[in-house]
Amino acid sequence: MKIIYFYNEEWEKDYIQTRLTGNEFKFVAGRLQDHPEIHDDGAEALCVFVNSEVKAVPMDQFPKLKFIAARSTGYDHIDLAEAAKRGIRVSNVPFYGENTVAEFAFALLLTLSRKIYDAYKRIEQDGNFSTDGLRGFDLKGKTMGIIGAGRIGLHTARMARGFDMKVVAYDKFHNDQVAQEIGFKYLELDDLLAQSDVISLHAPYLPETHHIINLNNIGKIKPGAYLINTARGGLVDTAALLKGLQEGILAGAGLDVLEEEGYFVDEMKLLTDPHPQLETLKVVLANHYLITHPRVILTPHNAFNTQEALERILNTTIENLKGFEAGTPVNIVKS
């Protein structure tokens, strides 16, 4: 089987090749959309990270394509309807980093709660060891509201209980046994927003979760709450986030993801698109405002990025490719 593999780091190539012997590989650095010149009439499988957009036009580059292996849990970067129309199966990596992402969510929260970045910058820039203005707050006794109680959300709940926090969760599906074991309760979304001192987002990005935090419900958030997002930028309406910060509804935010974050990688594309969208431009400008906001911590979609998690991603991807080649595909996502 010929596999077109878009890689991020050099070590991936050897890791994959030594575990998928007997296949033909073509390795390409970076994102699929950056290589419109690549056409391959023999490629049957395409392996991409979450930063590659696999839409109709890129699929045309590989006319015999039968399988797309996404090295991610999310798959909103792939046009599933178009893939299904062409008879292309799509797999993902359902589980790889529930602890990895949950740990990062708490890294963002602790950075905010104890003003760690402010303290570091004060010492680095001024050599000033004064603690004036650096008073934080305890997590113990505070309420953590988790939106999306899947594997990552549940691991976040366990960690929150370890900090002696109260935990509430909102999810379409309830697992009352697990809730009892961990020690949290399910609430409706508005009730969670009203009760939570910290809101941590761990829901998948789907049509029904688009802008789950929005202008209609931002005012329902408990005044002074903190928002943590390590899931998808599209879960939060950027206009609502700005409103929450400007009106003091939110005391701060820790964000590993943003709406339209792809344009930070290639802002020139936004400016040179033949029909730039006004709303997209507004979001990008708002994101620049967030970068310099004193009560916002931003990181570059890095929550997944540990060696252990990356190896788990590759190991599952290898099994997905082996399964497809053997005629027993696994981890197939539905359009």
Mean pLDDT, rounded, of the chain: 93
What band does 280 get if pLDDT is binned at 50, 70 and 90?
low
71 CB neighbour count, 10 Å cutoff: 24
pLDDT band at 268; cut points 50, 70, 90? very low
pLDDT surpassing 50 at residue 267? no
Average pLDDT of the residues in 166-171: 98
- Dihedral of the alpha carbons of 9, 98, 245, 131, in degrees to the nearest 10: -90
Q: Is 37 a catalytic residue?
A: no
From 151, 232, 259, 260, the catalytic residue: 232
Catalytic residue among 44, 259, 260, 261: 261
Q: 202-245: per-residue pLDDT in tens? A: 999 999 999 999 999 999 999 999 999 999 999 999 999 999 99
Tell me if residue 232 is catalytic: yes
Confidence grade of residue 292 (pLDDT, cut at 50, 70, 90): confident
Please give the domain boundaries of the chain with CATH numbers for all domains.
2-96+307-325 (3.40.50.720), 98-298 (3.40.50.720)
Question: How many angstroms separate the CA atoms of 91 and 218, rounded?
Answer: 35
Calculate mean pLDDT across residues 173-199: 98
Range of lowest pLDDT (36-40, 97-101, 281-285, 324-328): 281-285
DSSP code of 33?
A: G
What was the pLDDT predicted at 271?
47
Selecting among 71, 77, 155, 301, the annotated active-site residue is 301
Report the alpha-carbon distance of residue 58 to residue 32 in Å, rounded.
Answer: 7
> Which residues have C-beta within 8 Å of that of residue 52, sequence separation ≥ 6?
6, 31, 32, 33, 77
211 catalytically annotated: no
